[in-house]
Structure 1
Amino acid sequence: MRADLVARVERTCSRRQDAKGLRLAVLEHLRDEFAFDGYVWLLTDPQTSVGTSPLAAIPGLPWHRLPALITARYLATANRWTALTSSPRQVGRLSAATESELAGSQLWRTELAKLGVVDIASVVFADKHGYWGWLDLWRSNGRRAFDDADLELLAQIRSAVTHALRGCQARCFGDRVDGARAGPSVLVLAPDLSVRGQTAEAGRQLYRLNPPDPGPDGAPPDVPAIPAAAYNVAAQLVARERGVDARPSRARVHIAGLGWLTLQADRMTGPAPVDERDIAVTIEPSGFTDRREVFGRVHGLTRREVDVLESVLRGADTHAIAQELSVSEHTVNDHVKAILAKTGCPNRHGLVARVAGDLPADARVDEGILGRGDAPGRCAV
């Protein structure tokens, strides 16, 4: 059956669905081929690689230990998803990274050993345009460690899943916004990432991003949402402070009905040592620069196409763009046609509207006026 797995995954990836549905379907395909007891699959900011929308099943984990587990994962150097991108196959396993001495991993010593984990197989979904997600599959007591054949299976499906995840994010542009913000959106986390407090708007947004599973018979859940996206940007801040990873502690995420949002984490000021201060996580509508940068990545634009896109968004015409980039007007028109084809926009006006999306109708970027635009389809991550 393993020989057929790639074809089945590719068929699944070719269907139009949201990122959560895609991940759940791929996990079922993997479960048909080899056993695993738990998993963590995050979408990521394409530039910073910070997790945004986690999908996870972790047997035996008390929820109050989740912040510690996330922090330990971000501090881990063995099998870290950002390091796996330097591997040709972009896969790895904890047992190999530690030469079968799991105690050599701080992540395993402090968190995974308590859960009976015997190995983790990891794959990062990244391409030349950015990071789109990473997956950890866990095996626990009573099972063998993952082997090279298991990793080869993950490596073979990686390309199709990466492309599909990027496509899911691309379809988020143009999604309608259901309502206005009800106030500032801020969480305050203790140094161990436990929640000290949050504004009502922060709770609403994080609930929409990662709602708890329904209760019996589909009843509404009686527990609050886990602010996992906030934990991830805060954990990246800790990793940055410890010198593990230099990328910013920020992430862009799309929430259906709320649009593109940017989460950022920073320490509060005060006399205490830095690692003893609280962490503030803010959630703000993504600005035009953020949207433009993500838009270019999710649609797979080349560097020159991004240059042309930026000029179009500033309101420059073909002649002006040709002068700016020192190319012919014919070349500019070819680039514009390529951009429209990749993004599915009918014309330059539609392109501007798609990037601007849920920004105010009278917002301005340089000399370009941004309008509101509708795009087909809904997005949910």
Structure 2
Amino acid sequence: MACSNRTSSELRATMGFDAYAFLLTDPETSVGCAPIADLPGLPLPELPRLIRLKYLTEVNRWTALEDVALLSRDDNLSRSLVWRELLHGYGVRDIASMAFRDRSGCWGFLDLYRYDRDFSHAETAYLSGITEPVTTALRRSQADTFVVRPSGAPRPGPVVLLLSPDLRVLGQTPETHAYLSVLVPPERGRPPVPASAYNVAAQLLAVEAGVDANPPRARVHLADGLWLTLRAARIGDADPPGRREIAVTIEESSPTERLAVFTRAFALSAREGELLGHLVKGGDSHTVARQMFVSEHTVQDHLKSIFAKTSTNSRRVLLTRALGA
């Protein structure tokens, strides 16, 4: 989150914009999980609608971006669902969109808004030039969260947020408020905004509409090495699917879910990730070598590479950081 704030502040000082939305994403599903935003002029009640339309809009969707894309180019304004149904009414003229993606996954995306003028070719080139270093910084910031949880730290139970089909909050379990306050810290004296839950629920709508096939799931670091998994699903069966309420659950990530993000955050290779999975199951070098159809010497080489990438020096420390306990 600190990396996102720093990047947006530097961009505002360098090139200027009127509003922005910067989301960290689950590297595997590309679903937003830790958003920060400054959207002056857009009323807070419109936030669920904005997020829903963002996920349903195929134009300049972060999951398909190869480079910086502008809303003002190539007839995108007329083709953009989110602009036609919402943003044009608030005077938005251009949006520069960029995704922060590397071979390990998608680590975030950024939308910069302008109300009075378009982004220039020079500004677009500048944004394109910073994409790679920002991506690396975001991935490394996620890697830094994999620390051993304090001894005796409480294990959270699952909490639930109930949303309407258009993402209005209908109800929540008592503990939900505390989680949301940490995920997206509210302004003093204001209730937390369930933006993380909106994103997961909006991905469910995108899957149902055939816009994107990634599951409506996102893993996010909360604090002190604790990772949470958010999931969205329809409930009930009395109404047609599109009219059913949406339940968003928030619970501690399982060891398997946590390990998958750990592997991506430290940019482990496919074989290194496979080796780590065998170590988690308790395999020794001889057993792992047989399972991977390699020599024990090769296993040790892979293990040394993993130690170097994760700044660990033993299997015990490695597994403790990866699993959080």
TM-score between both structures, scaled by the size of structure 1: 0.82
Corresponding residue of 2:52: 71
Corresponding residue of 2:176: 202
Q: Does 1:24 align with 2:1?
A: no
Corresponding residue of 1:305: 272
Corresponding residue of 2:114: 139
Counterpart Cα distance in 2 of 1:30 and 1:208 = 25
Counterpart Cα distance in 2 of 1:300 and 1:29 = 26
Q: Does 1:168 align with 2:141?
A: yes
Asked whether the 8 Å contact 1:43–1:132 carries over to 2, the reply is: yes
Counterpart Cα distance in 1 of 2:274 and 2:28 = 18
Q: Does 1:94 align with 2:71?
A: yes
Q: Do the aligned partners of residues 352 and 182 (structure 1) sit closer, same or farther apart at CA in structure 2, a change above 3 Å counting?
A: closer
Alpha-carbon displacement from aligned partner over 1:121-153 (angstroms, at most 9, x marks no partner): 01100000001000000001xx22112221111
Letter in 2 for 1:72: L
Asked whether the 8 Å contact 1:78–1:97 carries over to 2, the reply is: no
Corresponding residue of 1:245: 212
The 3-state SS of whatever aligns with 2:73 is: helix
**Percent identity (aligned):** 48
Corresponding residue of 2:103: 128
| Deviation at residue 51 of structure 1 after TM alignment | 0.2
Q: 1:159 aligns with which of 116, 124, 132?
A: 132
Corresponding residue of 1:347: 314
Letter in 2 for 1:39: Y
Asked whether the 8 Å contact 1:175–1:256 carries over to 2, the reply is: no
Counterpart Cα distance in 2 of 1:304 and 1:249 = 27
Counterpart Cα distance in 2 of 1:250 and 1:168 = 21
Deviates more, 1:276-285 or 1:29-38: 29-38
How many pairs are equivalent?
324
Letter in 2 for 1:187: L
Asked whether the 8 Å contact 1:75–1:239 carries over to 2, the reply is: yes
| Deviation at residue 104 of structure 1 after TM alignment | 2.9
Asked whether the 8 Å contact 2:35–2:196 carries over to 1, the reply is: yes
Asked whether the 8 Å contact 1:270–1:277 carries over to 2, the reply is: yes
Alpha-carbon displacement from aligned partner over 1:325-369 (angstroms, at most 9, x marks no partner): 111111110000000110111200111111120xxxxxxxxxxxx
Counterpart Cα distance in 2 of 1:175 and 1:122 = 36
Letter in 1 for 2:18: D
Counterpart Cα distance in 1 of 2:298 and 2:10 = 45
The 3-state SS of whatever aligns with 2:238 is: coil
Counterpart Cα distance in 1 of 2:228 and 2:251 = 5
Q: 2:161 aligns with which of 177, 182, 187?
A: 187
Corresponding residue of 1:263: 230
Counterpart Cα distance in 2 of 1:191 and 1:66 = 14
Deviates more, 1:180-189 or 1:274-283: 180-189
Q: Do the aligned partners of residues 26 and 303 (structure 1) sit closer, same or farther apart at CA in structure 2, a change above 3 Å counting?
A: same
What runs of 5+ residues in structure 2 fail to find an aligned partner? none
| Deviation at residue 179 of structure 1 after TM alignment | 4.5
Asked whether the 8 Å contact 2:19–2:40 carries over to 1, the reply is: yes
CA RMSD of aligned residues (A): 1.4
Alpha-carbon displacement from aligned partner over 1:279-333 (angstroms, at most 9, x marks no partner): 0000111001101111100000000101111111111111111111111111110
Q: Does 1:226 align with 2:196?
A: no
The 3-state SS of whatever aligns with 1:200 is: coil
Counterpart Cα distance in 2 of 1:25 and 1:132 = 16
Letter in 2 for 1:265: A
Q: Do the aligned partners of residues 152 and 247 (structure 1) sit closer, same or farther apart at CA in structure 2, a change above 3 Å counting?
A: same
| Deviation at residue 74 of structure 1 after TM alignment | 0.3
Counterpart Cα distance in 1 of 2:112 and 2:146 = 30
Asked whether the 8 Å contact 2:167–2:198 carries over to 1, the reply is: yes
Counterpart Cα distance in 2 of 1:179 and 1:224 = 26
The 3-state SS of whatever aligns with 1:52 is: strand
Asked whether the 8 Å contact 1:188–1:281 carries over to 2, the reply is: yes
The 3-state SS of whatever aligns with 1:247 is: coil
Deviates more, 1:252-261 or 1:289-298: 252-261
Q: Which runs of 4+ in 1 moved over 3 A?
A: 181-184
Corresponding residue of 2:122: 149
TM-score between both structures, scaled by the size of structure 2: 0.96
| Deviation at residue 248 of structure 1 after TM alignment | 0.1
Counterpart Cα distance in 1 of 2:99 and 2:183 = 22
Within 5 Å, give how 1:81-120 maps onto structure 2.
81-84=62-65, 87=66, 90-98=67-75, 102-120=77-95
Counterpart Cα distance in 2 of 1:50 and 1:113 = 25
Corresponding residue of 1:35: 16
Counterpart Cα distance in 2 of 1:97 and 1:22 = 32
Counterpart Cα distance in 1 of 2:117 and 2:286 = 64
Corresponding residue of 1:13: none
Letter in 1 for 2:134: V
